Copies of this chain bind each other. A is one copy, B any other.
Amino acid sequence: MKAARDYSPKIDPLRDHCPVRAAIDVLSGRWKPSILWELKAEARRYSDLQGALPGISAQALTLQLRQLESDGIVLRTVYAEIPARVEYSLTDHGRSLSQVMDELERWGARHLEREGKQACICR
């Protein structure tokens, strides 16, 4: 596995000081809200996540998980079994995102409604 810093965001002076952008950057990613949703209740295995996210490729899933890991949001636990088992769970820091996610969901639902689109739960 590559080093965690290989998945850190690139340098950007604005992001390094703006809390709002810092938060958005953590959540920005094709599958990140869905992954966080899946991990909200309990730890999940790699293959669980792949099954729960129709259309995601192995590479995409790995990348998003590594980025979330590098941001301290998810914890990767490898069990020394054969075949290997790897579980992903939320860290305390990751769980602290739930309020933010709730606000985003509320506002986003209103936004979709304005556009005449049907809002449903992230899956």
Are B17's CB and A33's CB within 8 A? Answer: no
Residue contact B22 to A112, C-beta cutoff 8 Å: yes
- Chain A: number of interface residues, binned into ranges: 35 or more
Let me know if A80 is at the binding interface, CB within 8 A. Answer: no
Nearest-CB residue, chain B, relative to A28? B28
Q: Is the CB of A104 closer than 8 A to any CB of chain B?
A: yes
Pick the interface stretch among A41-49, A59-67, A115-123. A115-123
Residues of chain A having any CB pair with chain B under 8 Å: 14, 16-24, 26-28, 30, 33-34, 37, 71-72, 93, 96-97, 99-101, 103-112, 114, 117-123
**A111-B34 in contact given A16-B117, A20-B122 (Cβ < 8 Å):** no
